[in-house]
Structure 1
Amino acid sequence: MLYKLGRMHILLAIPSIALLLTVFGIPIVLLFFTSLNAPEFTLSNYTAFFSQPANIRVLLQTIEISAVATAACVVIGYPTAYLIANASKRWRVVLIVLVVIPYLTSGLARTYAWVVILGDRGLINNLLMDLSLISSPLPLIYNRFAVYIGMVHIMLPMMILPLISVMVGIDKSLVTAARSLGARPFAAFWRVFLPLSLPGLRSGSLLVFVICLGFYITPAALGGLRDAMLSTFIAAQVQTSFNLARIATSAFIILAIATAILLMMGLDLSGKPTSASSSRRKLWLGRLPVLGRLKQFLGERLAPFRARRWSAQLYRSGGDGTWSRRAGYVFLVLVLFYLLFPEILVVTVSFSAESFLTFPPSALSLRWYRNFFTDQSWASAAWTSVEIGLVVGTIATIFGTLAAYGLSRMSARPRIVLNLLLLMPITIPVIVVGVATYTGLVNLGLTGTRLGVILAHTIGAIGYVVVIVSATLANFDRRLEDAAKSMRASPFATFMRVTLPLIRPGILGGAVFAFLHSFDEVVITSLVSGYAVRTLPLKMWENMRNELDPTIAAVASMLILLPLLWLLLIYLTWWRSRLTSRAATDPV
């Protein structure tokens, strides 16, 4: 009986699924019914929403801001990923780490960095006034431009990393073959490389746009009243009137937009076109015979010119491309400067001895670090975040590892369904997750409690653990387990003595991401805690809204240095695991 149960790998995912359904899954279904006025099931709430011009303006503004931020990430991120993917292996690793560091850094800390840069007494205005170029501060903050700057800075690594993962796997010999047949560099890129990189471009665009739809902190901190997004509108309703029907309606409108984008761009992120989509495309082109004839006519007229150009360029040297390489280097340096300089600036400002934010600081001091450790409110908030993060990391690592191990042993169809379910809290707009989680914790009587905050953080943290551990298990050689079982090792002993040591780096990476997810969470925490549980990000957010105490710079600098320590720990664990694996496989 125990052996049969052991072969039912879905049992390993039950703890994660049960927690997800209790805290998030069932509440979001009930929330949807609430938006439809169950049991009457009418669209009156949606009609009321769209009948108010202010709501429509905020909705269109949300879509516009998200679309512009996504487009900017594509324009900046694609060439950046291309340059990194074509760098030498050693430089590629260094550049990827430089992109990952901002990605792991607290979004609140990065938003605060732009407050320091764009503020009335920030870096840019102080520099221009010192040079006597302006007599009064420029309005660089609390406007749409500042919102775009902050959102693109936060989301750009999420665009670059999926693109790199796809571009590195593209066979460069295909582009070389196109060049050898007379294609110019741009034509070879446009006709060969770009189509092969579309899966990464689509994945990155979907992630950026969907997450931007639920942005709350950055628009609220950097934008003005005219730059409010629908997430700000929802958060205000939760904290004031708490009309659950209106809140649910607004949340599901955001979710509907995200779902529509996913359906339009395709749910399959592999980038392989389906037969249905290709047939629809052919049918659409068949309805435009004029375009087909025009294309055929132009092709026939340009054929002699193409033949002469091909013959002339077939044996011509490609040139050294010095200027293009230099332009690429300059562009890459500027992008990395854009990603890393705000963090460097915050660390520098945190050592200022003055009572207000200035750069460069006139004198260096540890005043604001001492203030952080001696101020009871800051110390208590930090310790609360650490405690919650450790508990969340422990629960999410155990549940997520079990789920990932069970899913890796399942057939394709149930694995895809359960993966989508477990990853839902980190793939839909965060404000929707916050509202649904708040509703679920209200039903459990856990709002405003530390346990409620832990459960709210855990459902998202499990998703990160599942993704990372599943990726590790995908490269795991299962023949090692079979060999251990052939030596009469029990399934538990095989897992503990063989599987666990080899996938330990992935488990540690999942634990780190789970902890960072909890430690940096603001939106969901502000909804479910009611500010009764004061975490460090909530304390920072309050001070950013009320006063720009330089103590925030000290806190932000520590949050910036935290990912560096985690990356070092992961690297050391991976290096040790690699040595152990090599020692086990080398012949004596």
Structure 2
Amino acid sequence: MQLLQRLGRLPVLLAFPALGVLLVVFGIPIVRLFLTSLNAPEFSLANYQMFLGQPANIRVLFQTVEISAIATFVCLVIGYPTAYVMVAASKPVRMALLVLVVIPYLTSFLARTYAWIVILGDTGLINNLLLYFGLISGPLQLIFNRMAVYVGMVHIMLPMMILPLVSVMIGIDKSLMSAARSMGARPFTAFWRVFFPLSLPGVRSGSLLVFVICLGFYITPAALGGLGDAMLSTFIAAQVQTSFNVARIAAASFVLLAIAVVVLSMLGLDLSGSAPSGQIARKSWLPRPPPFGALKGKFGELPMPYRAKRWAAHLYKAGGEERWLKIVGPAFIALVMAFLLFPEIVVIIMSFSAGAFLEFPPSGLSLQWYRSFFGDPAWYMAAWTTIQIGVAVTILSTVLGTLAALGLSRAAPQARRLLTMVILTPITIPVIVVGVATYLGLIDLGLVGSQTGIVFAHTIGAMGYVAVIVSATLANFDRRLEQAAQSMRAGPLQTFMRVTLPLIRPGIIGGAIFAFVHSFDEVVITSLVSGFSVYTLPLKMWENIRNEVDPTVAAVASLLTLLPVLWMIALYLTWWRSRPQVNLSISEAKG
């Protein structure tokens, strides 16, 4: 009891278990990796000079940045109007569209990558349709090129662009647009001068997240691209699995990390909290008045009589300019949703193929590939191993992440901002760098090639998701309820169990689901720390995709595509069932 009281006085100590695991598994190893890249204790830049002195490395480095930048730009071009139309829709339609965006986000990226393989392949959907209609005489080379890489990466990262944009756009006061329109501004002018600057924080957050994650992409470029489309993460992974020259691996890793850090520091992504969106937009994006502003103002007064007449004429006129949004908006949303969902639907249909190879449309229907999955020990044992690891990661990361969120929510703002960014580091830097550092950390602990090691490797990222989700729940938590319970002589533990926990339980369950999804879908870090002795389902799928052993992976991908539906149902039931409990807790506290 005294320990709980001390923790109540120093709530930041609740974050120490999470920080301890992060320090041992990732923090200390990445510092050692950096020192190794500098040839400590001699300290030289020889490894970096060697890396930058090879033209092939420079080409791969620029290619990595180019692919990441173009994929991010395409995601922004598609994601911004999608988010805008979603926010402009009615609440039921908006919620339905959000569900359709979240489902692909929760779907295994291996399953989505495989979907594009079967769509773009020589015997895939597009080539078969073109051959069927006689538009081509032979299969087109739609895969193993740069365009296929862009298609796969945009498909995977588009939900991560849309969701931050929607979260920011929902908070923009729509009356500001109406005020601009009432002053005679055209719809586009009102959007460009009012709405767009206020939405820039979402543009910034979404673009930075997509770009940094794209820098560490490994699976999708390797599966859909050719030999000339390799990214730096592919080079690093090959070094780990072959020569394992730690100094060269460290130099390449920190070159990639330096790009991510420079971009993050330049644009200032702050996942722990930021200034109001309007202030950010005005400070960072709006141009300063030109020095000839006074002269420009004099000339600007000339058309004012015309503007006054136009304003009076259009003030009470029904806005017909927004008809384009009612026509083009639904069509554009339909295309985006088809792009996000259609590949998964194709894989589900093709998984029922009765032929020896996958084909669309199937020549016949059969469950042979599902029987192959459930009848092959290599497949179902890999699935069972993945579930065991996922459950362990979920329990560990939920406990650590929830404690960290509770501690950080009660800490001083500066300490909360710093510690939050530390906890979120494994999910805000390229995943291949996290994998290399974690591999070195697990070597010191003697856990490489063990399920325990994989659990710790997954936990350092999963607890970041838990901390973010629980912290968001705590942001709306009324601390006076805890004070009321303590005034009635309730102890810290009783207050937490009877008041705090029921109110934040939806956030904890939501964080646990995301932690399980993170572990269940992880393949890059797992491929580095498994030591070829622990086979998870993603590793088995990746091996099957690379070697094209059999179409059983289609059945696995279809099963993984249906899992997000279960996650969404679980989240909805959690929220729905928590409402009466929350009301009861509030009533008990007030009573």
Deviations 1:338-386 (A, max 9, x none): 0000111111111111111111111111111111011011011101100
**In 1, distance between residues paired with 2:62 and 2:17?**
40
Q: Which residue of 2 aligns with 1:99?
A: 101
**In 1, distance between residues paired with 2:528 and 2:519?**
14
234, 238, 251: which one aligns with 1:249: 251
CA contact (8 A) 1:24 1:436 kept: yes
Tell me the CA shift for residue 316 of structure 1.
3.6
Q: Which residue of 2 aligns with 1:127?
A: 129
Amino acid in the other structure paired with 2:477: F
Q: Which residue of 2 aligns with 1:439?
A: 440
Deviations 1:148-199 (A, max 9, x none): 0000000000000011111111111110111111111100000010011111
Tell me the CA shift for residue 299 of structure 1.
3.9
| CA separation of 1:172 and 1:280: change in aligned 2, threshold 3 A | closer
Q: Which residue of 2 aligns with 1:339?
A: 340
Amino acid in the other structure paired with 1:84: M
Amino acid in the other structure paired with 2:246: L
Q: Which residue of 1 aligns with 2:552?
A: 551
Is 1:465 equivalent to 2:466 in the alignment? yes
Secondary structure of 2:358's counterpart equals coil
Q: Which residue of 2 aligns with 1:449?
A: 450
| CA separation of 1:585 and 1:202: change in aligned 2, threshold 3 A | same
CA contact (8 A) 2:198 2:277 kept: no
CA contact (8 A) 1:199 1:271 kept: no
**In 1, distance between residues paired with 2:222 and 2:561?**
21
CA contact (8 A) 2:221 2:230 kept: yes
Tell me the CA shift for residue 582 of structure 1.
3.0
169, 173, 176: which one aligns with 1:174: 176
Q: How does 1:25-424 map to 2 (within 5 A)?
A: 25-268=27-270, 270=274, 289=291, 299=300, 306-307=307-308, 309-319=310-320, 321-424=322-425
**In 2, distance between residues paired with 1:218 and 1:550?**
18
Tell me the CA shift for residue 296 of structure 1.
5.5
**TM-score under structure 1 normalisation?**
0.95
**In 2, distance between residues paired with 1:366 and 1:522?**
27
Tell me the CA shift for residue 239 of structure 1.
0.6
Worse-matched range after superposition: 470-479 or 169-178: 470-479
Deviations 1:75-111 (A, max 9, x none): 0000000000111011111110010000000111100
**In 2, distance between residues paired with 1:518 and 1:281?**
38
CA contact (8 A) 2:503 2:585 kept: no
Q: How does 1:436-585 map to 2 (within 5 A)?
A: 436-547=437-548, 549-584=550-585
| CA separation of 1:68 and 1:303: change in aligned 2, threshold 3 A | farther
CA contact (8 A) 1:198 1:271 kept: no
Deviations 1:293-319 (A, max 9, x none): 885586466656645544553444322
Secondary structure of 1:262's counterpart equals helix
Tell me the CA shift for residue 452 of structure 1.
1.0
Secondary structure of 1:158's counterpart equals helix
Tell me the CA shift for residue 324 of structure 1.
3.4
| CA separation of 1:557 and 1:132: change in aligned 2, threshold 3 A | same
Q: Which residue of 1 aligns with 2:21?
A: 19
CA contact (8 A) 1:354 1:361 kept: yes
**In 2, distance between residues paired with 1:416 and 1:492?**
27
Deviations 1:226-246 (A, max 9, x none): 110000010011111111111
**In 2, distance between residues paired with 1:396 and 1:273?**
31
**In 2, distance between residues paired with 1:373 and 1:264?**
50
| CA separation of 1:199 and 1:277: change in aligned 2, threshold 3 A | closer
**In 1, distance between residues paired with 2:562 and 2:100?**
13
Worse-matched range after superposition: 139-148 or 441-450: 441-450
**In 1, distance between residues paired with 2:284 and 2:381?**
60
CA contact (8 A) 2:198 2:281 kept: no
Secondary structure of 1:327's counterpart equals helix
CA contact (8 A) 1:401 1:507 kept: yes
CA contact (8 A) 1:465 1:514 kept: yes
Aligned-residue Cα RMSD (Å) equals 2.3
Worse-matched range after superposition: 158-167 or 488-497: 488-497
**In 2, distance between residues paired with 1:280 and 1:319?**
34
| CA separation of 1:298 and 1:99: change in aligned 2, threshold 3 A | farther
Tell me the CA shift for residue 571 of structure 1.
1.1
| CA separation of 1:442 and 1:186: change in aligned 2, threshold 3 A | same
CA contact (8 A) 2:201 2:281 kept: no
Structure 2 gap ranges (5+):
none
| CA separation of 1:48 and 1:469: change in aligned 2, threshold 3 A | same
| CA separation of 1:59 and 1:579: change in aligned 2, threshold 3 A | same
Amino acid in the other structure paired with 2:66: E
Amino acid in the other structure paired with 1:37: N
**TM-score under structure 2 normalisation?**
0.95
| CA separation of 1:232 and 1:305: change in aligned 2, threshold 3 A | farther
Secondary structure of 2:172's counterpart equals coil
Amino acid in the other structure paired with 1:262: L
Amino acid in the other structure paired with 2:525: I
**In 2, distance between residues paired with 1:550 and 1:247?**
35
Amino acid in the other structure paired with 2:555: A
Amino acid in the other structure paired with 2:206: G
Secondary structure of 1:188's counterpart equals helix
| CA separation of 1:305 and 1:31: change in aligned 2, threshold 3 A | farther
Tell me the CA shift for residue 583 of structure 1.
4.4
Deviations 1:20-42 (A, max 9, x none): 00000011111111111111111
Worse-matched range after superposition: 397-406 or 306-315: 306-315
**In 1, distance between residues paired with 2:390 and 2:277?**
41
**In 2, distance between residues paired with 1:536 and 1:379?**
8
Deviations 1:504-542 (A, max 9, x none): 111111111111101100000001112211000000000
Tell me the CA shift for residue 494 of structure 1.
1.2
Tell me the CA shift for residue 50 of structure 1.
1.1
**In 2, distance between residues paired with 1:60 and 1:168?**
37
**In 2, distance between residues paired with 1:32 and 1:275?**
37
CA contact (8 A) 2:182 2:315 kept: yes
